[in-house]
């Protein structure tokens, strides 16, 4: 271990935004949904083939999610996949001006 100073950089909570991705909020939402799908597959001990038979989605869709290849998925398709795995979704959307940090007690606004 060396004695060099370590710079600590606090992230925004969205790694895609921190790395300046286009559509960072969409990418973050897709990543969260894909992670939930992976958790459900693991909890239910489902292979991609069994998940396809259970839900009606293609085996290749689940294989892509297992490989964290979610580029061709839309948010609504991922939500439908979560629903097909017997889960309900509750979505909150909040609005704030750009470049304003969010406090931890920030509550989403109703629309």
How would you write the pLDDT of the chain (111 residues) with one tens digit per residue? 566 889 988 888 899 999 999 999 999 999 999 999 999 999 999 999 999 999 999 999 999 999 999 999 999 999 999 999 987 778 777 887 876 555 545 455 444
37 in any annotated domain:
yes
Angle 72-79-19 from CA coordinates, rounded to 5°:
55
Using alpha carbons, list the distances in angstroms from residue 7 to 4, 10, 13, 22, 68: 10, 10, 18, 26, 30
pLDDT value of residue 96 = 78
101 in any annotated domain:
no
107 in any annotated domain:
no
76 in any annotated domain:
yes
C-alpha to C-alpha distance for 63 and 44, rounded to whole angstroms: 16
C-alpha to C-alpha distance for 68 and 44, rounded to whole angstroms: 19
5, two tokens: 């100073």
74 in any annotated domain:
yes
111 in any annotated domain:
no
> Residue 37 is part of which domain span?
15-84
Domain containing 41 — which CATH number?
1.10.260
Say which residues have a Cβ less than 8 Å from residue 11's Cβ, sequence separation at least 6. Answer: 18
98 in any annotated domain:
no
Domain count across the chain: 1
Q: How many CB atoms lie within 10 A of CB 36?
A: 17
DSSP 88: -
73 in any annotated domain:
yes
């Amino acid at each position: 271990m060396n004695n060099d100073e370590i710079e600590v950089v606090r992230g925004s909570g969205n790694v895609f935004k921190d790395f300046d991705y286009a559509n960072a909020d969409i990418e973050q939402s897709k990543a969260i949904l894909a992670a939930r799908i992976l958790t459900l597959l693991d909890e239910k001990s489902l292979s991609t083939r069994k998940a396809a038979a259970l839900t009606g989605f293609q085996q290749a869709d689940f294989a892509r999610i297992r490989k964290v290849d979610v580029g061709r998925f839309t948010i609504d398709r991922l939500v439908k996949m979560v629903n097909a795995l017997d889960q309900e979704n509750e979505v909150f959307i909040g609005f704030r001006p750009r470049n304003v940090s969010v406090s931890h007690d920030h509550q989403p606004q109703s629309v």
